[in-house]
Structure 1
Amino acid sequence: MTRDLREDLILADGEIIPKGFNYSVFPLAIHRDPESWDNPEEFQPERFLPENSVGRHPFAYVPFSAGPRNCIGQKFALMEEKVILAHLLRQFRLESIGTKDDIVLTTELILRSKNGLPVRCFPR
């Protein structure tokens, strides 16, 4: 996500980034920030439960950007994801073939795995 600053930005360490500067926000880094997330590399879906989200900065998790320029397809994408996963998980048990270290990320329009995420499917 790339934006132009409309006013000077003062960082926590006092450094100033001037108005007009073009900057990029990298969600992968935000989503793995240990100041916002305990054990950020662990899969912990319960961290998103309402009681576990109290006090967390609203922009600590921004998979679709945020504010007036966020993704217009966000609601559709989430609904599509839920429908597909529900159908798959009712019929199959999935098992990862590789490890996290095998994943090669690439940045295109979205951040994705360059070689996919290979899984084995076992009928339920």
Structure 2
Amino acid sequence: MRRAIESTTVQTSNGNLLQIDKHTAILPNMIVISKDENVWGKDATEFNPDRFLPENTKNRHPLAWMLFGAGPRICPGKNLAIYETKATLIRLLQEFKYELHEKSKLNEVTKTFMTFESLKMKIIPRKNE
């Protein structure tokens, strides 16, 4: 969370103006921003890794995706977390096959918390394919 050091007006993604007074606490709701159709397009809630390709990020605001924060207070473990996640994912994909047996159903508990209502998968060891 940050505090505004001076009063200002900012334009939101839908064109509205938002007045922020000096000393107001500011905390972006990243879950809402990550689903904003004005930022991500009509398929904002769909899984689409292509949206992060360089040609698809040219006109997007640099703070539209702030998983680890931004600026001088960005998470110091960002790079380590990204590399560990990639290495773990690669290892899991090398070792196992994944089959989805039924369509997963999401349950949106609040605007900031989602959970699976049901997720049924079969995980099969690859054993020297």
Q: TM-score band (shorter)?
A: 0.7 to 0.9
| Unpaired runs of at least 5, structure 1 | none
- Residue matched to 1:33: 36
The RMSD of aligned alpha carbons is 2.7
CA–CA distance in structure 2, aligned partners of residues 33 and 81 of structure 1: 26
Highest Rg: 1 or 2? 2
- Cα distance in 2, alignment partners of residues 72 and 3 from structure 1: 18
Deviations, residues 25-81 of structure 1 (Å, cap 9, x unaligned): 111111111111121111111111111111111111111111111111100000000
Name the TM-score, length of structure 2 as normaliser: 0.76
Match of 1:6 in 2: 5
Matches within 5 A, 1:12-31: 12=11, 13-31=16-34
Separation in structure 1 between the aligned mates of residue 97 and residue 17 of structure 2, nearest angstrom: 50
Q: With the length of structure 1 as denominator, give the TM-score of the two structures.
A: 0.79
5+ residue gaps, structure 2: none
Shift of residue 14, structure 1, vs aligned partner: 3.5
Q: In proportion to residue count, which structure has more strand?
A: 2
- What is the alpha-carbon distance in structure 1 between the residues aligned to residue 24 and residue 116 of structure 2? 31
Q: Which residue of 2 aligns with 1:123?
A: 125
Measured in 1, the distance between the counterparts of 2:120 and 2:82 equals 22
